[in-house]
Amino acid sequence: MYGDFVNHVLSFLIIAAVVYWLVVMPMTRVVAFFDRDKAAAEKECPECLSDIPVKASRCAFCTVELSQVRAADKPPV
C-alpha cells in the first residue's frame, strides 16, 4: 500500500525533472536569445522606470515628455 504510493511519487518527480531539463531549460535559452534584441529597441523612462521605445518622445505610462526630462538632466552651461 505505502510502497505503491512512494513508487508513484518517485516516478512523478523523476518525470517532472526530465520534462524540466528537456523542455524548460532549452526554452529559457531561446527566450533569452530573443530578449537581447528587445533591449536594444527600448530604453528606461527616467520618471517611472518603465521600458519604452527608443524613439518615444513621451512615456506611455506616466506621460512625461522625454525631451523636457533630458533637458532637465543636463547641467546648465
- Domain assignments of the chain as residue spans, ordered by start: 1-42, 45-77
Q: C-alpha cell of 9? A: 511519487
Q: Are 55 and 64 in contact (CB under 8 A)?
A: no
pTM (2 d.p.): 0.44
Predicted confidence at residue 68, as pLDDT, reads: 60
pLDDT for 21-55, tens place per residue?
999 999 999 988 887 766 677 888 888 988 888 88
Backbone angles phi and psi of 47, in degrees to 5:
-90, -55
- Whether the predicted pLDDT of 19 surpasses 90: yes
Which of the two residues, 18 and 41, has the higher pLDDT score? 18
Which residue has 524540466 as its cell numbers? Answer: 20
Strand intervals (E) in the chain: 42-44, 51-53
Residue 67 has pLDDT above 80, yes or no: no
Average pLDDT over residues 1-18: 95
